[in-house]
Structure 1
Amino acid sequence: MFIHRGKARTEKHNLAIASLLGFVAGLVNVVGFLSVKKLTTNVTGHFAFFVDEAFQQKIVQAFHTGLYIFFFFAGAFFASLLVEFYTRRRENLIYIIPALTEAFILGAIALSGTLLIQQNPDIIAFALLFAMGLQNALVTRISNAVVRTTHLTGLFTDMGIEFAQLFFYKGKSRRQKLLKSIRLRLTIIWMFFAGGVTGGLLYSSWGFRALLLGSFLLLGGLLFDFIKIRLVLMRPKI
């Protein structure tokens, strides 16, 4: 799921990671919004508010909104920094450290969110935006920009283009490629929706602890890859 990169990835690998991370992103999106009333998986809305506040010369508010954008950027920067660092040293850790970091952040907010929301709810928004920036950059690097999971605007745009192309591309290989791409995008959209619904249902009874599901899913994905690697290494001995 995580271990294959670039050309080594197959459609099956991309569908697996798209399902996992799309679900986690949908979960974080709804739990973040219900808890702190902020978008926590993308910065499009925050950027609009930032420009509006800057135009009205509300400097303090604009700076505050700008921090939401910054933390998403910081997460993406951190993930890419780790990928570049471990590519040159220990390539097997390229995806492990970023995924563990995201799982830790979600788990920390799940356990401390009730306290943080009373003292400084912005910390919750900053942490979740950092985690989603990290996730988006990581899956983009791993999949060679084929998979993106934290927001749907680009997905619907690309899918609209590809549906239109189906009316004009009659070659079998080209149509199969388009259909595979559409299936991948539909998978992300569906899993994002499923994660959102699950997040809403769990938040009503669990509160911030609903984020523990996202943390456990990430850890489960890492464990799956670890077991898979061990089985491959054991095969020649068997």
Structure 2
Amino acid sequence: MLRHKGKGRTYSHNLKLASLLSGVAGMVNICGVFALGTLTTNVTGHFAYFAETLFLQDFSTALVFMVYILFFLLGAFVSGLLTESVSGRFHTAYVMPLALEIVILCAVTAFGEIYYGTDRSPIGALACALLFAMGLQNALVTRVSQSVVRTTHLTGLFTDLGIELAQRLIYRGNTERTRLRKSIFLKLMIIIGFFFGGIAGGYLYQYLQLRALLLPVVVLLFTLGYDELLFRFYRLKRKLRSKAT
């Protein structure tokens, strides 16, 4: 899912990646809404609130929304920096952003358990941490899939989906219709993954509060583990085949 790039990357890789990590984004987003009262997977809404509070001359609140925006940007920047710094060893490039995302989600869970609901509850800091983590994830997935997959927000996705559904009705060539069918299905899987991630995260939050963030951690660990096990399996298979010949 994550190791392959360029011509070695297939539709199946993007489909698996989209399904898993869009679910992660949905879970993180709903936990952020319930626990912190803010969206944590995109910055569109934060820009609107920033403009509103700036107009109302509530400069301290406007500053908070600007910080949220900058932390998402910072996450994307750090993800790009980590990935590019080891671009010659791409098989490990994806590990660092996802590992950092796992650490952040675990830290938010831990600090949330200690301070959430108290007078010292660091809601702003926790929101910044989740926005940073989602910036990390979105930048990594965008780069790995060559901008085919984005998992943390749906606005552009619904726009592209609407365009492609219209093209599906108009185009008659088999090649073009096949391409559109695959692209539409991929986008639907991202939407479904985000939706069911939100449902699962919301359900767990009722019982676990911020500990519900451990579920996306499990999904991220599975993603890394699956990729590594599959890589080792195919490498062993090639070795056995070469010995047999």
Please indicate the TM-score interval, normalised by the length of the shorter structure. Answer: over 0.9
* Structure 2: tracts of 5 or more residues without a match: 241-245
SS of 2:170's partner is: coil
Match of 2:82 in 1: 82
After superposition, the C-alpha distances for 1:91-116 in whole angstroms (9 at most, x for unaligned) are: 22110001111111112212221324
Q: Distance in 1 between matches of 2:137 and 2:180?
A: 25
After superposition, the C-alpha distances for 1:180-238 in whole angstroms (9 at most, x for unaligned) are: 00000000000100000000100000111111010111011111111111112212332
Match of 2:231 in 1: 229
- Pairing 1:145-224 to 2, within 5 Å after superposition: 145-224=147-226
User: Structure 2 length normalisation: TM-score?
Assistant: 0.94
- Residue 56 of structure 1 and its aligned partner are, at CA, apart by 3.0
Q: Distance in 1 between matches of 2:143 and 2:91?
A: 14
Q: Distance in 1 between matches of 2:112 and 2:140?
A: 25
Q: Distance in 2 between matches of 1:153 and 1:134?
A: 19
Is 2:45 the partner of 1:36? Answer: no
- Residue 59 of structure 1 and its aligned partner are, at CA, apart by 2.3
Which AA in structure 2 matches 1:45?
A: G
Identity of aligned residues (%): 49
Aligned residues: 237
- Residue 60 of structure 1 and its aligned partner are, at CA, apart by 1.9
SS of 2:151's partner is: coil
What's the RMSD between the two structures over aligned residues?
Answer: 1.1
Match of 2:21 in 1: 21
- Residue 36 of structure 1 and its aligned partner are, at CA, apart by 0.6
Query: Once structures 1 and 2 are overlaid, which stretch shifts more, 51-60 or 184-193?
Result: 51-60
Which of 110, 123, 129 pairs up with 2:131?
Answer: 129
- State whether residues 161 and 184 of structure 2, in contact with CA within 8 Å, keep that contact through their aligned partners in structure 1: yes
- State whether residues 82 and 97 of structure 2, in contact with CA within 8 Å, keep that contact through their aligned partners in structure 1: yes
After superposition, the C-alpha distances for 1:118-139 in whole angstroms (9 at most, x for unaligned) are: 3211111001000101111000
Which AA in structure 2 matches 1:229?
A: F
* Structure 1: tracts of 5 or more residues without a match: none
After superposition, the C-alpha distances for 1:44-102 in whole angstroms (9 at most, x for unaligned) are: 110011112223333222111100001000000010111111104x3221100011111
Q: Distance in 1 between matches of 2:50 and 2:6?
A: 36
Which AA in structure 2 matches 1:95?
A: Y
Q: Distance in 2 between matches of 1:83 and 1:19?
A: 22
User: Structure 1 length normalisation: TM-score?
Assistant: 0.96
- Residue 166 of structure 1 and its aligned partner are, at CA, apart by 1.2
- State whether residues 38 and 125 of structure 1, in contact with CA within 8 Å, keep that contact through their aligned partners in structure 2: yes
Query: Once structures 1 and 2 are overlaid, which stretch shifts more, 212-221 or 108-117?
Result: 108-117
- State whether residues 47 and 66 of structure 1, in contact with CA within 8 Å, keep that contact through their aligned partners in structure 2: yes
Which AA in structure 1 matches 2:123?
A: P
SS of 1:236's partner is: helix
- State whether residues 3 and 90 of structure 2, in contact with CA within 8 Å, keep that contact through their aligned partners in structure 1: no
- State whether residues 82 and 93 of structure 2, in contact with CA within 8 Å, keep that contact through their aligned partners in structure 1: yes
Q: Distance in 2 between matches of 1:15 and 1:37?
A: 31
Query: Once structures 1 and 2 are overlaid, which stretch shifts more, 138-147 or 49-58?
Result: 49-58
Is 2:105 the partner of 1:106? Answer: yes
Match of 2:60 in 1: 60
Query: Once structures 1 and 2 are overlaid, which stretch shifts more, 32-41 or 7-16?
Result: 7-16
